[in-house]
């Protein structure tokens, strides 16, 4: 004998709106008690260019919106899905400065975990690859300053003679510049990979050796 589907009785506990009310209650419960993944920290892969010309380093001047601290970072940006780090670097320079570059050797890699610099940022986890690069086209200047299609960017040439006293990010960059006789500080070897977690005050250099000949 074929099985017959049993219908729930139309009682207060099993009315026609039972499933609807159940789903609404479930969604409200999820909203009140969201499930937080252990992988919720935002991971980012970034490529940046070390461009030196006429005794100066190409940098972007920025500030930490939370602390107000000023700092200098290198041009470059995030690697999109489907592109290599070199392709991303060349694309970012076109977008930021409308300039063509030739990417060279990978100099070093820096990994860091930190509280985001923007007001609404949470914890960020970055893996940044630093490449030596050279300009293949001319930069554009307006009123004596480097022009950028991105109005929030403040690119400038920072003289190498001022780098030792400048807030250059990340700190491993100064080590690389010193090791290559571009910065007048103690010539400590640049680690090919460095890790810094400002949320835990933890720093680790995996290999204390040069990444370049």
Q: Is residue 91 part of a domain?
A: yes
**For the residues of 78-142, what is the DSSP string, one character each?**
EPPTT--HHHHHHHHHHHHHS--EEEEEEEEEEEEEEE-SSTT--EEEEEEEEEEEEESSPPPEE
Q: Is residue 19 part of a domain?
A: no
Q: Is residue 31 part of a domain?
A: no
Q: Is residue 210 part of a domain?
A: no
Query: pLDDT tens-digit profile of 154-179?
Result: 999 999 999 989 999 888 898 889 88
CATH value at residue 147: 3.90.79.10
What is the predicted pLDDT for the residue at 18? 38
Residue 19 has pLDDT above 50, yes or no: no
- Distance, CA of 90 to CA of 105 (rounded, Å): 14
Tally of domains in the chain: 1
Instruction: Report strand pairing: 52-53 vs 42-50.
Output: unpaired
Which residues does residue 63 pair with via DSSP β-bridges, in sequence order? 70
- Distance, CA of 107 to CA of 131 (rounded, Å): 5
Q: Is residue 16 part of a domain?
A: no
Q: Supply the pTM of this predicted model.
A: 0.70
**Residue numbers of the domain that contains 104:** 43-205
Provide the mean pLDDT of the chain: 77
Q: Is residue 118 part of a domain?
A: yes
Task: Give the alpha-carbon dihedral of 172, 102, 184, 197, to 10 degrees.
Answer: -10
Q: Is residue 48 part of a domain?
A: yes
Q: Is-contact 113 194, C-beta < 8 A?
A: no
Q: Is residue 126 part of a domain?
A: yes
């Amino acid at each position: 004998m074929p099985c017959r589907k049993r219908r729930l009785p139309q009682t207060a506990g099993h009315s026609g709106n039972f499933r609807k009310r159940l789903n609404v209650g479930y969604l409200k419960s999820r909203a009140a008690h969201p499930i937080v993944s252990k992988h919720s920290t935002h991971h980012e892969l970034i490529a940046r260019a070390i461009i030196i010309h006429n005794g100066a380093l190409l940098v972007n001047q920025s500030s930490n919106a939370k602390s107000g601290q000023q700092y200098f970072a290198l041009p470059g940006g995030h690697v999109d899905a489907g592109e290599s780090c070199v392709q991303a670097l060349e694309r970012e320079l076109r977008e930021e400065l409308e300039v063509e570059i030739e990417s060279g050797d990978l100099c070093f890699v820096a990994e860091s975990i930190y509280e985001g610099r923007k007001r609404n940022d949470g914890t960020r986890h970055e893996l940044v690859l630093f490449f030596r690069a050279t300009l293949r086209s001319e930069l554009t200047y307006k009123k004596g300053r480097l022009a950028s299609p991105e109005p929030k960017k403040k690119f400038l040439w920072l003289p190498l003679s001022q780098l030792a006293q400048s807030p250059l990010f990340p700190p491993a960059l100064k080590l690389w510049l010193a090791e290559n006789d571009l910065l007048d500080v103690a010539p400590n070897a640049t680690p090919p990979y460095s890790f810094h977690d400002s949320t835990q005050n933890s720093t680790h250099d995996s290999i204390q050796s040069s990444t370049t000949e």
